[in-house]
Chain A
Amino acid sequence: MSTDASETADEMADRDEQSRQAANEHDVEALLERIEALESTVDAMEDGRKKMTIVATQGTFDMAYPPLILASTAAAFDWDVVVFHTFWGLDILHEDRELKLSAVGNPNMPVPNAIAAVPGMDRLTTRMMKNRIEKNDTATIDELVELSLEMGVDLQACQMTIELMDYDESDFYDGVTTGVGAATALEHMANSDVQLLV
């Protein structure tokens, strides 16, 4: 009787051990599956490439440079780049628009504000800057726009601003994306590693 009882106790212990092992194996399997699922989600999110979104809001000659230089360079890094142009930033994409530099309110310009406000001064300061850019072998805005497009940068023109400014889509450089709004920009921003407002 006592022998039987001890056998039963051993059998019970064996059964417990087996079910514990089975539970452990099941847990490990479930965890491995979960890890695999998460890894594929992360891969899909990362897509192997860094993403950058720049919002370009300024249309003066000097402020056209930072977004274009960063965008074309990021494209050279193989990043997925979107530049969303809104308000005056739209003028950067306008093929025939001469962007001007304003000397007003810029204490670094060698022109006092009172004189900078005189009609024709913007034209003069822009010419000064253009000469300097040519002398320094810096790329022109036109070259940087063309280069960015060639490198696969997505230059987007805000549809609301196009209509607000009464612009014609055919005035933009070939390859500019139109028909996009804030939601498109936000969606790309949410998935970007770098987001900049210029």
Chain B
Amino acid sequence: MTEELDITETLDVTGVSCPIPVVKTKQATDGLSEGEILEVVATDSGSMSDIRGWAESTDGVTLLEQTEDGDEYRHYVEKTA
């Protein structure tokens, strides 16, 4: 599925932990237009739950997918409004 996503921007938050991945993701999505997709690359295992929780209670964003590969966690967030 990941290959099919048309990623607009990639945010690298590897090596930083809570709350930075969520806060930087918010800042990055603020700069996107409707329909654009942000890829977030993190190493914080808490980011799986945190980014999901953030996306669920934040208007204008949708979490499309999350993947886990070893110590690397990727999140795909679409700006919807």
Q: Which residue of B lies closest to A50 (CB)?
A: B57
B26 near A139: Cβ-Cβ < 8 Å? no
Task: Give the number of chain A interface residues (Cβ < 8 Å).
Answer: 14
B23 near A73: Cβ-Cβ < 8 Å? yes
B17 near A137: Cβ-Cβ < 8 Å? yes
A73 proximity list for chain B (CB < 8 A):
18-19, 22-23, 54
Distance in angstroms between the alpha carbons of A138 and B43 in the assembled complex: 12
Is A124 in the interface zone, CB < 8 Å from B?
Answer: no
Q: Which residue of A lies closest to B14 (CB)?
A: A137
Distance in angstroms between the alpha carbons of A12 and B57 in the assembled complex: 60
Distance in angstroms between the alpha carbons of A144 and B17 in the assembled complex: 12
Distance in angstroms between the alpha carbons of A136 and B20 in the assembled complex: 13
Is B47 in the interface zone, CB < 8 Å from A?
Answer: no
Known: A78-B58, A151-B26. 20 other contacts (CB 8 A): A69-B18, A73-B22, A73-B23, A73-B54, A75-B23, A75-B26, A76-B26, A76-B27, A76-B54, A77-B26, A77-B54, A78-B59, A136-B17, A137-B15, A138-B17, A138-B18, A139-B16, A139-B19, A147-B20, A147-B23
Residues of B within 8 A of A (CB): 15-20, 22-23, 25-27, 54, 57-59
Residues of A within 8 A of B (CB): 69, 72-73, 75-78, 136-139, 144, 147, 151
